[in-house]
Protein backbone atom coordinates (compact mmCIF):
# COMPACT_ATOMS: atom_id res chain seq x y z
CA UNK A 1 0.00 0.00 0.00
CA UNK A 2 1.09 3.56 -0.67
CA UNK A 3 0.93 5.00 2.84
CA UNK A 4 0.60 8.43 4.35
CA UNK A 5 3.30 10.98 5.22
CA UNK A 6 3.20 13.90 7.64
CA UNK A 7 5.85 16.13 9.22
CA UNK A 8 6.25 17.25 12.83
CA UNK A 9 8.77 19.60 14.43
CA UNK A 10 10.52 18.53 17.65
CA UNK A 11 9.74 20.99 20.44
CA UNK A 12 11.41 21.51 23.79
CA UNK A 13 8.58 19.61 25.52
CA UNK A 14 9.48 16.51 23.44
CA UNK A 15 13.06 16.33 24.70
CA UNK A 16 14.95 15.30 27.80
CA UNK A 17 17.43 17.53 29.61
CA UNK A 18 20.03 16.83 26.91
CA UNK A 19 17.82 18.05 24.08
CA UNK A 20 17.23 14.53 22.74
CA UNK A 21 13.69 13.28 22.05
CA UNK A 22 12.50 11.17 24.97
CA UNK A 23 11.80 7.63 23.72
CA UNK A 24 8.09 7.60 24.67
CA UNK A 25 7.48 10.64 22.49
CA UNK A 26 8.17 8.60 19.35
CA UNK A 27 4.97 6.73 20.27
CA UNK A 28 3.13 10.07 20.49
CA UNK A 29 4.44 11.15 17.09
CA UNK A 30 3.33 7.81 15.61
CA UNK A 31 -0.14 8.12 17.18
CA UNK A 32 -0.61 11.59 15.75
CA UNK A 33 0.49 10.38 12.32
CA UNK A 34 -1.97 7.44 12.40
CA UNK A 35 -4.81 9.76 13.46
CA UNK A 36 -4.05 12.16 10.59
CA UNK A 37 -3.87 9.23 8.17
CA UNK A 38 -7.38 8.18 9.21
CA UNK A 39 -8.68 11.75 8.96
CA UNK A 40 -7.29 12.05 5.45
CA UNK A 41 -9.57 9.23 4.24
CA UNK A 42 -12.61 10.50 6.16
CA UNK A 43 -12.42 8.48 9.36
CA UNK A 44 -12.95 10.68 12.41
CA UNK A 45 -12.52 8.36 15.37
CA UNK A 46 -14.67 10.45 17.74
CA UNK A 47 -17.65 10.07 15.38
CA UNK A 48 -17.49 6.30 14.82
CA UNK A 49 -19.27 3.50 16.69
CA UNK A 50 -15.97 1.66 17.08
CA UNK A 51 -12.57 2.48 18.51
CA UNK A 52 -9.09 1.60 17.32
CA UNK A 53 -6.79 0.72 20.21
CA UNK A 54 -3.12 -0.18 20.18
CA UNK A 55 -2.71 -3.85 20.99
CA UNK A 56 1.01 -4.33 20.34
CA UNK A 57 4.05 -2.15 19.61
CA UNK A 58 7.49 -3.12 18.38
CA UNK A 59 9.73 -0.05 18.19
CA UNK A 60 13.36 0.24 17.17
CA UNK A 61 15.18 3.53 17.71
CA UNK A 62 18.08 3.76 15.27
CA UNK A 63 19.30 7.36 15.71
CA UNK A 64 18.23 10.19 18.01
CA UNK A 65 16.06 13.15 17.08
CA UNK A 66 16.85 16.47 18.74
CA UNK A 67 15.26 19.80 19.53
CA UNK A 68 14.10 21.69 16.40
CA UNK A 69 14.49 18.68 14.06
CA UNK A 70 11.82 18.34 11.40
CA UNK A 71 10.64 14.74 11.33
CA UNK A 72 8.63 12.99 8.64
CA UNK A 73 6.45 10.06 9.69
CA UNK A 74 5.34 7.57 7.07
CA UNK A 75 2.44 5.25 7.98
CA UNK A 76 1.72 2.18 5.87
CA UNK A 77 -1.17 -0.20 6.49
CA UNK A 78 0.40 -3.60 5.91
CA UNK A 79 -2.63 -5.78 6.67
CA UNK A 80 -6.33 -5.29 7.29
CA UNK A 81 -7.95 -8.28 9.00
CA UNK A 82 -11.50 -8.70 10.20
CA UNK A 83 -10.90 -6.96 13.55
CA UNK A 84 -7.36 -5.52 13.42
CA UNK A 85 -4.81 -3.53 11.43
CA UNK A 86 -1.07 -4.01 11.11
CA UNK A 87 0.60 -0.65 10.51
CA UNK A 88 4.29 -0.01 9.90
CA UNK A 89 5.53 3.47 10.69
CA UNK A 90 8.87 4.97 9.80
CA UNK A 91 10.25 8.18 11.25
CA UNK A 92 12.78 10.07 9.14
CA UNK A 93 15.11 12.97 9.86
CA UNK A 94 16.78 14.52 6.81
CA UNK A 95 15.57 11.54 4.72
CA UNK A 96 17.33 9.08 7.05
CA UNK A 97 15.18 6.56 8.94
CA UNK A 98 15.73 7.07 12.65
CA UNK A 99 12.92 4.90 14.03
CA UNK A 100 10.76 2.01 12.90
CA UNK A 101 7.51 0.97 14.57
CA UNK A 102 5.32 -2.04 13.92
CA UNK A 103 1.88 -1.45 15.43
CA UNK A 104 -1.05 -3.86 15.86
CA UNK A 105 -4.37 -2.00 16.18
CA UNK A 106 -7.48 -3.77 17.47
CA UNK A 107 -11.02 -2.73 16.61
CA UNK A 108 -13.29 -2.63 19.68
CA UNK A 109 -16.78 -1.44 20.57
CA UNK A 110 -17.36 1.55 22.85
CA UNK A 111 -17.54 -1.08 25.63
CA UNK A 112 -14.02 -2.25 24.65
CA UNK A 113 -15.15 -5.63 23.31
CA UNK A 114 -13.47 -6.87 20.10
CA UNK A 115 -15.59 -6.27 16.98
CA UNK A 116 -15.19 -6.55 13.23
CA UNK A 117 -14.06 -3.48 11.35
CA UNK A 118 -17.18 -2.18 9.59
CA UNK A 119 -17.07 -2.48 5.79
CA UNK A 120 -17.53 1.28 5.31
CA UNK A 121 -14.33 1.84 7.34
CA UNK A 122 -12.45 -1.00 5.59
CA UNK A 123 -13.29 0.60 2.26
CA UNK A 124 -11.85 3.93 3.44
CA UNK A 125 -8.74 2.23 4.85
CA UNK A 126 -8.06 0.73 1.43
CA UNK A 127 -7.63 4.31 0.14
CA UNK A 128 -4.52 4.86 2.27
Question: What positions carry a catalytic annotation?
Answer: 16
**Which residues fall within 8 angstroms of residue 88, CB to CB, at 6 or more apart?**
75, 76, 78, 100, 101, 102, 103
Distance CA 7, CA 56 (A): 24
- Cα 97 to Cα 103: distance, rounded to the nearest angstrom: 17
Decide: 111 and 49 in contact? Cβ < 8 Å: no
Amino acid sequence: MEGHKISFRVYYEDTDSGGVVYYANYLKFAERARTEMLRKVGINQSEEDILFVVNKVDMELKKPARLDDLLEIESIIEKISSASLDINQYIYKDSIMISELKIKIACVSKEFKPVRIPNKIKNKLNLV
